[in-house]
């Protein structure tokens, strides 16, 4: 059975690159441009992992993660922040909210694939 990933990011080039990469890794890929779109997708799909940006319009990554972790049906989904916010305080906040990993932009596609594969193994 294919693994499912939800990519939540408002930067089209990043989304295209990650979508292509994970489809090549035989993932079923879902895309959301912000947290509210992600939460809509989560009403009908349960991905194995969510790759989540923090700085997005409408509902940001922190709010999205808080909602996911407070929902008994979603709380066990692996969540990886992928963001330009790279201060120690940002990383600490993300991990304290329940992110499984915290990766920063710019990023290596190879590193992201490795981190995601480790989580869904």
The whole-angstrom separation of Cα 104 and Cα 121 is 22
Q: Which residues on neighbouring strands pair with residue 50, listed in sequence order?
A: 6, 79
101-104/78-83 β-pairing: parallel
CATH match of 4-120 with 3.40.50.2300: yes
pLDDT in tens, 8-40: 999 999 999 999 999 999 999 999 999 999 999
- pLDDT over 90 percentage in the chain: 98
pLDDT in tens, 67-91: 999 999 999 999 999 999 999 999 9
- The model carries a pTM of 0.96
């Amino acid at each position: 059975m294919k693994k499912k990933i939800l990519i939540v990011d408002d930067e089209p080039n990043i989304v295209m690159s990650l979508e292509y990469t994970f489809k090549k890794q035989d993932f079923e890929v879902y895309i959301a441009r912000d947290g509210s779109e992600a939460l809509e997708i989560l009403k009908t799909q349960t991905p194995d992992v969510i790759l989540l940006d923090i700085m997005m319009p409408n509902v940001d990554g922190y709010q999205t993660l808080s909602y996911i972790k407070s929902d008994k049906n979603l709380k066990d989904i692996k969540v990886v922040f992928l963001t330009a916010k790279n201060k120690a305080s940002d990383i600490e906040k993300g991990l304290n909210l329940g992110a499984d990993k915290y990766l920063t932009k710019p990023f290596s596609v190879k590193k992201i694939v490795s981190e995601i594969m480790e989580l869904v193994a």
